[in-house]
Amino acid sequence: MPLAFVLINAEIGSEDEVATELRKIANVKESYVVYGVYDIVAKVEADSMDKLKEIVTWKIRRLDKVRSTLTMIVVENA
């Protein structure tokens, strides 16, 4: 089962709002507001790589107040 961590930059002051919207997406298993270069880290699981791509492209990146994302696909689960 494909797994990815998505690092998200949100508009200033909207981090909690974006994290709340992320938690409504079924394939988002966890999301955290963090300090640093990125504002939010989300853990996303899907049945296939195509489904994972669809979730990131059409659900996460299209959320209001998401400015940019960086997706890290897990190669090996240690």
Rounded CA separation 25/65 (Å): 16
Flag whether pLDDT at 26 surpasses 80.
Answer: yes
What's the whole-model pTM score?
A: 0.93
Give the helix, strand, coil percentages of the chain, each rounded to 5. 25, 35, 35
Nearest to 34 by CA among 76, 73, 3, 70: 70
The correct CATH number of 3-40+48-70 out of 3.40.390.30, 3.30.70.920, 3.20.20.30, 1.10.260.40 is 3.30.70.920
What is the DSSP secondary structure assignment for residue 12, as one 8-state letter? T
Please give the pLDDT value at position 58.
96
Q: Which of 67, 77, 73, 31 is nearest to 52 (CA)?
A: 73
The tens digit of pLDDT for each residue in 31-78 reads 999 999 999 999 999 999 999 999 999 999 999 999 999 999 999 877
Domains of the chain, by residue range, sit at: 3-40+48-70
Query: Can you tell me the distance from the alpha carbon of 25 to that of 75, in angstroms, rounded to the nearest whole number?
Result: 23
Q: What is the pLDDT of residue 8?
A: 98
